[in-house]
Structure 1
Amino acid sequence: MSLYGRILLLNAAVLVVAVLLLLGPVTVSTPVLPREAMVLGAGLVAMLVANAVLLRIGLVPLRRLARAMGTVDLLRPGDRAAVSGPGEMAELTRTFNLMLDRLEAERATSSARVLSAQEAERQRIARELHDEVGQTLTAVLLQLKHAADQAPAGLREDLRQAQETTRSGLDEIRRIARRLRPGVLEELGLHSALRSLATEFTTPSLSARTHIGPGLPSQSDETELVLYRVAQEGLTNIARHARARTAEVQLTCGADGGVDLLIRDDGRGTGDASEGAGIRGMRERALLVGAALSIRPGPSGGTDVRLEVPKAEKADR
């Protein structure tokens, strides 16, 4: 029976009993006698208590659904409200869960389009940096070398300095282009790309190393790109915010036949800081391949960022 029907039935039963009592053994005189007032008061209290208990029990599923609505996050899919309660409450909860299914599917589809467009734009910018800006700076370097060779001694040193500045700018342009378009990933594969990435982030104040487990299953190009980008963003966050001395990138076999990527550091941890655009981007990338991303404190301080990619056929489904 619906909540409306139960409340209506309970109130009707209480009123019918009250009318029968008034028509039968219970009478009300004028002025009202104390005994009669007690009977009427007890009936009123009984009706209010019964309604309160019924509403309290009947609205529990609605409060549970409200809590689920307040905590839902499309970047953490899978959480659903428990279906319970009377007919219309259970139907409302089922409808809400179906709406979440549709929203998560639409979010994953739109994120895939956005990230694909983003990767295409990165490749275009990387090509232009390499082909246009890189070639222009190379030509400038050659002109400066020629000018330095022909210049008098007093001017030669200034031209050498300009050469070094231009060469540093060219190296920076190439580094940015490599980060925008990981050519090593396309040419040598994920394992070499992760090792190169760790080498790139290694500085005098940060030691980054890579551990690649044996027997890793092959992954699609899309999955390898997601793994690389998550590792890249994780190392970028460590270099910018963690104040860590060491960082490690581990790629190992997962429990279900997939792969696990772990980025671990010994820095100051995340504390109570809210998730920024970088972490949200990692979560969106994880959705593309059906992976689960978790961020937890490390076993000896710092932060563990773990990406669990399911087996290929599961991810395809």
Structure 2
Amino acid sequence: MPLFWRMFLLNAVVLVLATGLLMGPWVTVSSPVLPREALVLCGGLVALLVANALLFRAGLAPLRRLTKAMAEANPSKPGQRARVTGHGELAELTETFNVMLERLEAERAASSGRALSAQEAERRRVARELHDEVGQTLTAVILQFKTLADRAPAPLREDVVTAQETVRDSLDEVRRIARRLRPGVLEDLGLLSALRALTTEFSTPGVTVSHRLDGSLPSLGAETELVLYRVAQEAMTNAARHAGASRIDLALRSVEPRIVELVVGDDGRGLRGTEEGAGIQGMRERALRLGAALTLTSDDAEGTTVRLRVPLPTEGAA
């Protein structure tokens, strides 16, 4: 039954009962109204209001649940659906909202996939230019400084060598940035080697990084490997630079026959109720691209844990 007729009939039943009581011999009204009659009328009015409130509350309860689901819906956190209860227009409205959510998630996954592909292409271009242009220029400058140091008089030789080392440090930094922009080891040696190299990169005198990598993982595909690598890279960057962590643990394992799980935990200061920045939003976008589930748990005493569960396509699926 449509919501309009349901509410109309409920109120009609209440009003017909009230009219029947007034027309029958049970209730009479004098002029002026006697206190006993006024008490009966007020009691009847209160009963009508309570009955209407209860009926409307029960009838509109699915609409309140749908409103709450709409307010909590977030396309970057897929899988949230409104619970379908009852029948009629409200049930159809809830089902339509769920279909709209599915469509929004699919469209967002497609658009984020295109954006991330363009981002990766731009990263490769910038990394190539840094390596080929800036790197070669700095290498030439280092060689010129070496020639100049061999010919410079003794009082100036030390300053020339110092300048040469400064340029060499800059070259190392450029190469490090290029490696982060375009992980060549991922393309050449695979995900496990790339993650080992990543843990080595973040291991410093103040930060201890450990890894547990499952060597018997199924074939993941280039796109899945790239998403896992980027999420691990961003999580470790947040832990080392923003959380002040002294220990970072990275694990990659197969938890179910067709699910691979990446876990990055640290002992830093935690999120402490801060809003999600661009780094975390980027991780959610990458997870959405694969239909994966990304969860972040934070505790001031235990740091932050980033968990990414990636479902793998069934064998033979496109």
TM-score of the two chains, using structure 1 as the length reference: 0.93
C-alpha contact 2:263 2:308 (8 A) present in aligned 1: yes
Separation (CA, whole Å) in 1 of partners of 2:40 and 2:159: 107
* Alignment partner of 1:11 is 2:11: yes
Greater shift after overlay, 280-289 or 10-19? 10-19
Distance 1:293 1:15, change over 3 A: closer
For structure 1, which runs of at least 5 residues remain unmatched after alignment? none
Distance 1:249 1:21, change over 3 A: closer
Secondary structure of the 1:294 match is: strand
The aligned counterpart of 1:236 is 237
Separation (CA, whole Å) in 2 of partners of 1:200 and 1:290: 29
Separation (CA, whole Å) in 1 of partners of 2:277 and 2:5: 49
Secondary structure of the 1:166 match is: helix
Please give the residue correspondences for 1:6-45 in structure 2 after superposition, counting only pairs within 5 Å: 6-25=6-25, 26-45=27-46
> For residue 10 of structure 1, what is the amino acid of its counterpart?
L
Deviation at 1:162, TM superposition (A): 1.2
Secondary structure of the 1:275 match is: coil
> For residue 209 of structure 2, what is the amino acid of its counterpart?
A
Please give the residue correspondences for 1:1-317 in structure 2 after superposition, counting only pairs within 5 Å: 1-25=1-25, 26-297=27-298, 301-313=302-314
| Deviation string, structure 1 residues 71-97 (Cα, Å, up to 9, x no partner) | 112121101111124522212211211
Separation (CA, whole Å) in 2 of partners of 1:227 and 1:267: 22
| Deviation string, structure 1 residues 164-210 (Cα, Å, up to 9, x no partner) | 11111111100000000000001111111000000011100011122
| Deviation string, structure 1 residues 1-58 (Cα, Å, up to 9, x no partner) | 3332233223323333344444442443322334443443333223212211111111
C-alpha contact 1:244 1:268 (8 A) present in aligned 2: yes
Separation (CA, whole Å) in 1 of partners of 2:89 and 2:23: 38
C-alpha contact 1:7 1:51 (8 A) present in aligned 2: no
TM-score of the two chains, using structure 2 as the length reference: 0.93
Separation (CA, whole Å) in 1 of partners of 2:257 and 2:143: 56
Separation (CA, whole Å) in 1 of partners of 2:199 and 2:53: 63
Secondary structure of the 1:254 match is: strand
% identity of equivalent residues: 63
Give the aligned length. 317
Secondary structure of the 1:283 match is: helix
C-alpha contact 1:247 1:266 (8 A) present in aligned 2: yes
Separation (CA, whole Å) in 2 of partners of 1:197 and 1:58: 57
> For residue 32 of structure 1, what is the amino acid of its counterpart?
V
Separation (CA, whole Å) in 2 of partners of 1:298 and 1:259: 25
C-alpha contact 1:182 1:193 (8 A) present in aligned 2: yes
